[in-house]
Amino acid sequence: MPAEARIDASVLELRDPEATIRTIADGLVRTVRRFRRRGAVLGLSGGIDSSVVAALAARAFGPERVLGVLMPETDSDPDTLRLSRLAADAFGIETVLEEVAPALTALGCYRRRDDAIRKVLPDYGDGWTSKIVLPSVIDSEAFRLFSVVARDPDGTEHRARLTPEAYLEVVAATSFKQRTRKMVEYHHADRLVYAVLGTPNRLEYDQGFFVKGGDGAADVKPIAHLYKTQVYALAEALGVPEEIRARPPTTDTYSMPQSQEEFYFALPYAAMDLCLYAVDHGLPATAVTKALDLTPQQATRVFDDIAAKRRVARYLHASPVLLGTVGAESRFDAA
């Protein structure tokens, strides 16, 4: 194979992070002005993506025109709130604490999820914790079938393959979390005449790692074109606190700790970034095998997984479809 067909992490380097920051900040101001909004609101999770978007918004609008909404719920990591405040304080952004657990309880989020888990683990109940996991793409060519892993009050772990019905009900119940949070964000956006910022990075956006009408909803998504490696580079340039930059990515959605690889992605983010870059640039699976220490078969499975997730993401990305023609005056196109 010619040497140029192999890539490594250097392709993801941001040559000039400051220039990228300026471009995004300009784009944010331009877009929010076109929307006739006066600032920005976003949910803060204590993770790298929302911290970077908060910093970019503070740079674009001034911190006094940015509101960070803190929305922990029953299953959130105890660190979430502290790290969210750490990010807000670093950039001088005002925050508001919104407890969403009572709303989630009223909606039946937890009850519906637990009922669904009991379909495959009948003893599941109070005092148990759980998460949904997928087997590794790398270790085996088996289809990735969702299982629930649960820990009982004695600390014993139980695992069961989910039926399609139970899986769909668990996800549908859990998605109340993202949708409820977005509702609260839009409440503050309406109150302040602000725009809502979405915080997906490119991996999440491309691969459909979001809830439609939940964290997928926003007025502008300022880092959706950046690979996660690049988001980390921006975080450093923007001065995101070290503790947030060092925290491993998590879903912070289920009551047991759950890495993003367990639930969604085939590989840790840095390796996923490189694979996605290769797919984006029409390179074959063999282009990443050396850098990622994968066999051609393993790399091919990752590429197939990327393609499969893109097919699922198509529906998630789709705007409402109109079946007749309407005037174009009310539409916004790309900034």
Site residues (vs other proteins, CB under 8 A): 135, 141-146, 161-164, 167-168, 304, 307-308, 311-312
88 vs 68: CA distance, rounded Å: 7
The residue among 98 and 204 lying less far from other proteins, judged by its C-beta, is: 204
The residue among 252 and 305 lying less far from other proteins, judged by its C-beta, is: 305
The residue among 143 and 332 lying less far from other proteins, judged by its C-beta, is: 143
Min separation Cβ 118 and other proteins, Å: 17
Min separation Cβ 266 and other proteins, Å: 12
Q: Report CA dihedral (293, 297, 302, 303) to the nearest 10 degrees.
A: 110
Min separation Cβ 136 and other proteins, Å: 13
Q: Supply 119's token pair.
A: 């379909």
The residue among 55 and 272 lying less far from other proteins, judged by its C-beta, is: 272
Min separation Cβ 144 and other proteins, Å: 6
Q: Which residues contact 164 (CB under 8 A, 6 or more apart)?
A: none
306 vs 153: CA distance, rounded Å: 37
Of 75, 93, 68, 80, give the one whose Cα is nearest residue 199.
68
Min separation Cβ 300 and other proteins, Å: 11
193 vs 196: CA distance, rounded Å: 10
The residue among 97 and 308 lying less far from other proteins, judged by its C-beta, is: 308
Q: Let me know how many helices (H) and strands (E) the chain has, helices first.
A: 13, 7
The residue among 23 and 163 lying less far from other proteins, judged by its C-beta, is: 163
Helix 228-238 to helix 269-280 angle (10° resolution) is: 120
Contacts by 75-78, CB closer than 8 A, 24 or more apart: 75/252, 75/253, 75/254, 75/255, 76/252, 77/46, 77/250, 77/252, 77/257
Min separation Cβ 181 and other proteins, Å: 24
